[in-house]
């Protein structure tokens, strides 16, 4: 292996999905996996196969469609987990099982209730069994950040002998500081020599996940685990875009013996990946989030604006184009644009994998939008395509919506929905228009939804901007699903989002 190549292990679909409220359905996970492949991620942790039949199916489908990234499943160090992981990733062109057990005194004593010797035996058994499914096995010392070095070395030696090729050292609770991570990684790299790749997995509880990851790279870690937008359990994981762009922007700093630390990531796909993950999970990066936040390249102060206009590098250390943001979100097409120009635009926006059927549907939606909105921007087109891709499941299809609401009156809605080839129409009143619309949909479908979250955002600026609605709904008291709706009319977008959440719920059943 090229000794200065940093492997990017993306766990957006596993640790990222453990972010509160970030559960995704299979179609959504596949969309993200395909985007991760476009990014050129080395390893995609597609999920935790033993967690649920839905997780297993999602991993198996991702294993089937992804060609150029290694597909991995997480597994606890127990036979049933490893078997599920091995079977789920079986079809992948390149695969990996990632098995783990906790190694810190506090976890071994209170959580596992196992002695260190028992932990080593379990780890060796797990790795040995995992190797019967795949050649590539990663072993994680959960809570390595709070584990004792002598024990870490002992268990690491044992699992390497059993066949583990990557040793991952998670700072599971985000406790460590960069110098401590540097020292831990250095000692483990020296200990392992070239028998295994040392990997890092840093949580962000103290806001140090990226700094710790970079310190680990300096100490010799050659795989880093991270997520898009820094999603993940609690305060999240190291944000991939921050790690990758730091290595790219500060090549000078990270050079060793004149060799530059590099990743395989196609940074021009970062912005699309970030938008897709934010849209699917409904978790928007904070506006001032490094690299992908709304304000990351915005200059408010006159002095800064003046400087950037005179010479970009006065106040910008990276270019927006580096992460795939087109300069000035240019006005693109109009109502006279044809299908060929539309397809051409999609290609330049990175949607080159779209089939003819998807193109036709998107083109019709684009034409309808042209009649209502003056300037169609790249972000509008991007959202139309994303919305289509996320709403493939159409068990119930919203046909029309009619509202009556006036100050002091009783809001009511008439909704028509297509189900099983028939159009069903019904009406209801509510405490507000949103309430009336959602109640009517419940009446038509017979499913009772509890609205847990409702977000409205505009895709671009302007009074005529497209509204993007995300609803998180729990149907029949079960785990919530997320629905997406896009329309120039906010209430229509809301109705679509609610129906989309229901379709997502039904597709998981």
- Chain residues that interact with ligand KIV, rule: CB under 6 A: 15, 100, 140, 142, 170, 172, 201, 203
CA separation for the pair 203, 329 (Å, rounded): 34
190 exposed, middle or buried (CB, 10 Å; 0-12, 13-18, 19+)? exposed
What is the DSSP secondary structure assignment for residue 11, as one 8-state letter? Answer: -
Bridge partner list, 202? 171
* Of 209 and 501, CB closest to Zn ion: 209
* Of 52 and 288, CB closest to ligand KIV: 52
CA separation for the pair 509, 503 (Å, rounded): 10
Least separation, in Å, of the C-beta of 443 and ligand KIV? 43
483 binds, among Zn ion, ligand KIV, none (CB under 5 to 8 A by kind): none
CA separation for the pair 498, 484 (Å, rounded): 7
Least separation, in Å, of the C-beta of 11 and ligand KIV? 7
Which residue's structure tokens are 């991620």?
41
15 is a site residue for Zn ion (CB under 5 A)? yes
Least separation, in Å, of the C-beta of 201 and ligand KIV? 5
3-state helix, strand, coil in the chain (%, to 5): 45, 20, 35
Least separation, in Å, of the C-beta of 171 and Zn ion? 9
Q: Which residue is nearest to Zn ion (CB)?
A: 15
Least separation, in Å, of the C-beta of 238 and Zn ion? 10
Least separation, in Å, of the C-beta of 142 and ligand KIV? 4
* Of 212 and 494, CB closest to Zn ion: 212
* Of 95 and 172, CB closest to ligand KIV: 172
Give ∠ CA 67-71-76 in degrees, rounded to 5: 170
CA separation for the pair 507, 503 (Å, rounded): 6
Complete DSSP assignment for 68-129 = SSEEEEEEESSHHHHHHHHHHTTT-SSEEEEEEEE-SHHIIIIII---HHHHHHHHHHHHHH
Q: Which stretch binds Zn ion (CB under 5 A): 7-15, 161-169, 175-183, 246-254?
A: 7-15
Name the region of 193 (left: φ>0; alpha: ψ -120 to 50; beta: rest). left
* Of 240 and 473, CB closest to Zn ion: 240
- Tell me which residues in 377-436 interact with Zn ion (CB under 5 A): none
* Of 19 and 279, CB closest to Zn ion: 19
CA separation for the pair 227, 213 (Å, rounded): 12
Q: Which stretch binds Zn ion (CB under 5 A): 8-16, 66-74, 426-434, 496-504?
A: 8-16
Structure tokens at 301: 């102060």
* Of 15 and 379, CB closest to Zn ion: 15
What is the DSSP secondary structure assignment for residue 466, as one 8-state letter? Answer: P
Closest Cα partner for 166 from 133, 127, 205?
Answer: 127
* Of 29 and 203, CB closest to ligand KIV: 203
Least separation, in Å, of the C-beta of 142 and Zn ion? 8
Strand 166-171 versus strand 197-202 pairing type: parallel
496 binds, among Zn ion, ligand KIV, none (CB under 5 to 8 A by kind): none
142 binds, among ligand KIV, Zn ion, none (CB under 5 to 8 A by kind): ligand KIV
Q: Which stretch binds Zn ion (CB under 5 A): 10-18, 64-72, 143-151, 439-447?
A: 10-18
Structure tokens at 130: 């995992």
Q: With beta carbons less than 8 A apart as the criterion, state whether 166 and 206 touch.
A: no
Q: With beta carbons less than 8 A apart as the criterion, state whether 267 and 242 touch.
A: no
SS3 475: strand
Least separation, in Å, of the C-beta of 272 and ligand KIV? 26
42 is a site residue for Zn ion (CB under 5 A)? no
* Of 41 and 383, CB closest to ligand KIV: 41
* Of 17 and 378, CB closest to ligand KIV: 17
103 binds, among ligand KIV, Zn ion, none (CB under 5 to 8 A by kind): none
100 binds, among Zn ion, ligand KIV, none (CB under 5 to 8 A by kind): ligand KIV
Q: Which stretch binds Zn ion (CB under 5 A): 9-17, 92-100, 310-318, 410-418?
A: 9-17
Least separation, in Å, of the C-beta of 238 and ligand KIV? 11
Strand 43-48 versus strand 449-458 pairing type: unpaired
222 binds, among Zn ion, ligand KIV, none (CB under 5 to 8 A by kind): none
CA separation for the pair 404, 217 (Å, rounded): 60
**Site residues (vs Zn ion, CB under 5 A):** 15
């Amino acid at each position: 292996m090229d000794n200065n190549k940093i492997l990017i292990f993306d766990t957006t679909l596993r640790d990222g999905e453990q972010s509160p409220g970030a559960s995704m359905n299979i179609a959504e996970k596949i969309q993200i996996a395909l985007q991760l492949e476009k990014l050129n991620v080395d390893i995609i942790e597609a999920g935790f196969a033993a967690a649920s039949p839905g997780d297993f199916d999602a991993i198996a489908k991702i294993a089937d469609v992804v060609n150029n990234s290694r597909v991995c499943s997480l597994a606890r160090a127990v036979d049933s987990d490893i078997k599920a992981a091995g079977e789920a990733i079986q079809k992948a062109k390149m695969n990996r099982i990632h098995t783990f057990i906790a190694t810190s005194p506090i976890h071994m004593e209170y959580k596992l209730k196992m002695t260190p010797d028992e932990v080593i035996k379990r780890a060796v058994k797990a790795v040995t069994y995992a190797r019967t499914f795949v050649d590539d096995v990663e072993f994680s010392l959960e809570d390595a950040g709070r584990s004792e070095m002598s024990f870490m070395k002992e268990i690491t030696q044992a699992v390497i002998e059993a066949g583990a090729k990557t040793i991952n050292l998670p700072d599971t609770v985000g406790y460590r500081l960069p110098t401590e991570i540097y020292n831990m990684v250095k000692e483990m790299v020296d200990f392992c020599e070239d028998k295994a790749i040392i990997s890092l997995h840093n949580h962000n509880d103290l806001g140090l996940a990226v700094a710790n990851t970079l310190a680990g790279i300096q100490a010799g870690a050659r795989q880093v685990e991270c997520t898009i937008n820094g999603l993940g359990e609690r305060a999240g994981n190291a944000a991939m875009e921050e790690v990758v762009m730091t290595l790219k922007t500060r090549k000078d700093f990270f050079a060793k013996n004149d060799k530059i630390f590099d990743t395989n990531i196609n940074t021009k796909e970062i912005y699309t990946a970030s938008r897709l993950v934010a849209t699917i999970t409904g978790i928007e990066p904070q506006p001032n989030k490094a690299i992908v936040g709304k304000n990351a390249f915005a200059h408010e102060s006159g002095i800064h604006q003046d400087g950037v206009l005179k010479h970009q590098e006065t106040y910008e250390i990276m270019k927006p184009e580096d992460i795939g943001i087109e300069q000035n979100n240019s006005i693109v097409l109009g109502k006279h644009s044809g299908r060929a120009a539309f397809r051409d635009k999609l290609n330049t926006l990175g949607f080159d994998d779209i089939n003819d059927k998807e193109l036709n549907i998107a083109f019709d939606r684009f034409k309808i939008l042209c009649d209502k909105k003056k300037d169609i921007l790249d972000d509008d087109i991007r959202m139309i395509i994303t919305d289509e891709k996320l709403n493939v499941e159409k068990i119930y299809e919203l046909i029309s919506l009619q509202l009556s609401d006036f100050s002091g009156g009783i809001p009511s809605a008439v909704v028509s929905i297509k189900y099983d080839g028939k159009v069903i129409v019904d009406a209801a009143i509510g405490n507000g228009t949103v309430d009336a619309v959602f109640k009517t949909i419940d009446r038509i479908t017979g499913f009772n939804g509890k609205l847990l979250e409702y977000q409205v955002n505009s895709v671009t600026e302007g009074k005529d901007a497209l509204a993007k609605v995300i609803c998180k709904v729990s149907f029949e008291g079960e785990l919530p699903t997320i629905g997406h709706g896009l329309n120039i009319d906010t209430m229509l977008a809301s109705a679509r989002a609610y129906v989309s959440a229901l379709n997502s719920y039904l597709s998981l059943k």
